[in-house]
Structure 1
């Protein structure tokens, strides 16, 4: 007969010493009268969570604690919003994380979403090896183990892409922060983007008061209406090809190739996107190749051929090289 896992109670905390391949330790305890779950997850190395947090903290909407090596992630599952804390307790080569949240019934879905956001299934060692014979080797060596972390919400990602269009980064970040603080929701210290119905009900005048342009306000509201009506189904997109998604999104007012590519990369986690129109990537390549001016699109397309099928990682590391 198999032995049951040993349960040890200590100061009101119940430790389950049973083991699993994914979660060495499971802990349940009460915080503020509500049951809190906690699990430890190990992933393949290398994985530099410090560098991931460094990039995440560029956005003031993210609840990043660099000293504690943790971030609170907004997760929506079964229509409920919950804050899930992810804390690094491992190393670059042997990464592991404590994942903590409320509502034990939503635990599996929450951990699954966190794993998706932080790309814990990507084998970064293979991606790093791929670039060792390319012109980007120095950048990949410098940023060794940097993961491509998704935006926390697909709708939020698409809205952010629209808001950031043709704006300098500092103002784009401020404008997005105003938008989320005004119409989103804060749960346990974590900000959630407004849901589709909330965005759909906004007026152009409301967004103009925040310094949105008239057209950009229309684009944002239009995205909200499409999502609220079900014409934009982000769950369905997970099973669609890049080409199918591009064909659908490019028809929407305010959505161009740059927006589609960034959404595919950071909203859905697609690995082979290279936004040639992105000014940051152009400036990074100018630096890599020692150019006096930004490269032309045909040059960029030619240089990028050896970087496939990991163009999204090439894009990320190029951005990191100038941030």
Structure 2
């Protein structure tokens, strides 16, 4: 068992509330805990993270990583939950903007990453052009059919397995033919060495965009969501995202969804934390 103390504010209960939306996540709200599936050096590891502190004085107990990859697993958890990034500066920045009320209402909400960049990209592809409820249903079918479970946590089908799956098998789960091809294509790109997620971590947003956009089925929305939730980049603002458009319409009490020009105008004071603005706008309607 490891104990980690970090600088507040950090509201882990709001983190769990958002993670709970995905049926694949093993979340215990009463215990204030989540099981985190991670691939460390190609070995599946499941850590359980339990909050034992408060928003202003956050602390966590980590269990399930008592083995040779313990230090790597702890480093990955710190990266996933952004424990190294104090939120007070971001909160203070938005107190000077017209998103002040949102950052007060969701005080201490961090930008938590998806548990694996490979599965994040797959999830982004599956979720494209679907309402959120069916997107979660389809992803759950996909993972529970072709992935695997360990210590109560679900892992997405690894590239070597997904690359061998036939389009028809995914069609049986209600994938469209193209979406099935896109998902299999991601796994094939990993297996062929065209896509290396460790190398992506050290590339600029622009270079990652240029790399990923070449994959079939990957457009600007997918790249932006991957940059935000796969790699934790802080300054992303997906203009085409319907959720953000609806949140802005609600926040500014507009009669219609804002245009891209209006969205960019609203955001002029939100840099360099557009990803946090996006997250808090999503939270305002979830």
Unaligned regions of 5+ residues in structure 2, if any? none
Instruction: Give me the whole-angstrom Cα distance separating, in 1, the residues matched to 2:23 and 2:180.
Output: 22
Please name the residue that 1:159 is paired with: 122
Instruction: Give me the whole-angstrom Cα distance separating, in 2, the residues matched to 1:162 and 1:79.
Output: 23
- Residues 278-299 of structure 1: CA deviation (Å, up to 9, x unaligned): 0000000001111000000011
The structure having more radius of gyration, on CA atoms, is 1
Confirm or deny that 1:42 pairs with 2:19. no
Confirm or deny that 1:193 pairs with 2:156. yes
Instruction: Give me the whole-angstrom Cα distance separating, in 2, the residues matched to 1:290 and 1:137.
Output: 16
- Residues 179-200 of structure 1: CA deviation (Å, up to 9, x unaligned): 0001111001000111111111
Please name the residue that 2:215 is paired with: 252
Confirm or deny that 1:287 pairs with 2:250. yes
Provide the aligned C-alpha RMSD in A.
0.7
The alignment's TM-score, normalised by the length of structure 2, stands at: 0.99
Please name the residue that 2:201 is paired with: 238
Instruction: Give me the whole-angstrom Cα distance separating, in 2, the residues matched to 1:218 and 1:155.
Output: 16
Deviation at 1:102, TM superposition (A): 3.6
Deviation at 1:103, TM superposition (A): 3.9
- Residues 242-283 of structure 1: CA deviation (Å, up to 9, x unaligned): 000000111111000000000000000100000000000000
Instruction: Give me the whole-angstrom Cα distance separating, in 2, the residues matched to 1:64 and 1:286.
Output: 31
Please name the residue that 1:309 is paired with: 272
Please name the residue that 1:9 is paired with: none
1:3-22 aligned within 5 A: none
Instruction: Give me the whole-angstrom Cα distance separating, in 2, the residues matched to 1:244 and 1:302.
Output: 26
Confirm or deny that 1:168 pairs with 2:131. yes
Instruction: Give me the whole-angstrom Cα distance separating, in 1, the residues matched to 2:70 and 2:14.
Output: 26
Higher relative contact order (CA 8 A, sep 6+): 2
Instruction: Give me the whole-angstrom Cα distance separating, in 2, the residues matched to 1:261 and 1:237.
Output: 14
Confirm or deny that 1:274 pairs with 2:234. no
Give the aligned length. Answer: 286
8 Å contact from structure 2 (residues 65, 73) kept in 1: no
Instruction: Give me the whole-angstrom Cα distance separating, in 1, the residues matched to 2:268 and 2:165.
Output: 43
Normalized per residue, the structure richer in strand is 1
Deviation at 1:104, TM superposition (A): 2.2
Please name the residue that 1:69 is paired with: 32
Confirm or deny that 1:51 pairs with 2:8. no
Divergent runs of 4+, >4 A: none
- Residues 130-157 of structure 1: CA deviation (Å, up to 9, x unaligned): 0001110000000000011100011100
Instruction: Give me the whole-angstrom Cα distance separating, in 2, the residues matched to 1:127 and 1:78.
Output: 33
Unaligned regions of 5+ residues in structure 1, if any? 1-37
Instruction: Give me the whole-angstrom Cα distance separating, in 2, the residues matched to 1:298 and 1:160.
Output: 29
Deviation at 1:76, TM superposition (A): 1.1
Please name the residue that 2:181 is paired with: 218
Deviation at 1:203, TM superposition (A): 0.7
